[in-house]
Amino acid sequence: MAETGKIAVFFTGGTIGSKNNNGTVSVHESGTYALIEAYGSLPNKRDVQFETAQPLNVLSENLVPDDWNVLMEALDGIDKTEYAGIIVTHGSDTLAYSAAMLSYLCCDTPVPIVLVAANYHLEDERSNGVSNFAAAIDLIMSTDGAPGVFVVYRNDRNESLVYLGTRITQCESFTDQFGSPYDLPYGRVEQGRFITEAHPDNPTMEALRARERSYSPWGKRGSGKRVESGLLYIKPFTGIDYSFYDFSRRKPKAVLHDLYHSGTASANAPGNHSLLQFAQYCWEQGVDLYLCPLKDRTEAMYTSSVSLMEAGVVFIDNLSVEAALTKLTLAYSLFDSKEDIESFMWNTELFYERLKPDKKGADRK
């Protein structure tokens, strides 16, 4: 059993671990540990003991897949059952990707792992970094160590929202706000307590504790297997010219092509603007192509999407782009055969990454 009030904190850098040096925000050793000191000065702080480590110290825009390997090796180096929970500080730029990746790699965690970030460095009075850190501690201590990977982030309405790690989407450029599919967070921390957002697509706390945890792909990986780069991610835009994507010199392991909100792309556009033509090119080059997100393929679809399906292009439905991209990255890192990759993507649910298409956010009260 965990020792009451003992929390492991892994610092990785980011704005929450940065300082303003003459107008330039950069990671700083003292900036990282200032978070612990700031929490200790709060009037409503909890009586907890911290054990800290700093496996990384980077701005998250500079994070690469091998940094996930370094972080996982650090997490593997502790006995998680000795702690009430684990907090990972992180930059906001790539937080959604790391949250999804850790959700997959730590799907068997016996305790909560909570990622926190900050919108401004801690010396800025606008920063929510200390508030997010405090809410993460409250989440851990008020849920009696419910296992899983979560993100806590205070929004511009002063709500400390809690997201499942596979259900948080990228931070918005102009508002510094995170989102989630169907605008459905997992809950919030309020007055030191976690409150679940009641919804059929959100697991109850009892279900979270009782669920049969999958074996981590990190623990099951073959000798020498690590998370690696290798995917190409493409966002559609008006006038996209696919002839610029030339695989003659170097091929990606796979391509994930984003879609417009209606599950469409320029499939029926002429010539080099056609995704159908690009799909044919990928097939000729032996590069797997995936399209995402698609919220519900059982509803009426636009002709462009239908033509792509009829051409055999693979859609990834009911996953956010962030969850799909990281799961594909993991699949193509750990498995060699297409059969194993497809089984991992479609037959293996690790931590609530797959959404239910018949349970829309519009059902929220």
Q: Which residues are catalytic?
A: 15
Query: Tokens 């690696």 label which residue?
Result: 228
Residues 6 or more apart whose Cβ sits within 8 Å of residue 286: 251
User: What's the CA gap between 201 and 154, in Å, rounded?
Assistant: 22
CA distances from 34 to 176, 332, 335 (A): 22, 38, 41
Q: Return the HEC string of 243-304.
A: HHCCCCCCCCCEEEEECCCCCCCCCCCCHHHCHHHHHHHHHHHCCEEEEEEECCCCCCCCHH
Output the six-digit token pair for 63: 């994070």
Task: Please name the residue ranges forming H helices in 183-259.
Answer: 205-210, 217-220
First to last CA, the chain: 38
Point out which residues pair with 160 in neighbouring strands. Answer: 154, 189
Task: Name the residue among 156, 135, 137 with its Cα closest to residue 145.
Answer: 137
Residues 169, 293 contacting (CB under 8 angstroms): no
Task: Name the residue among 334, 310, 132 with its Cα closest to residue 221.
Answer: 334
Q: How many helices (H) and strands (E) does the chain have?
A: 10, 14
Identify the burial level of 278 via C-beta atoms within 10 angstroms of its C-beta, where 0-12 means exposed, 13-18 middle and 19 or more buried: buried
User: What's the CA gap between 202 and 186, in Å, rounded?
Assistant: 6
Helix axes of 338-347 and 321-334: crossing angle, nearest 10 degrees: 150
Residues, the chain:
365
Up-side HSE of residue 271: CA atoms within 13 Å toward CB?
6
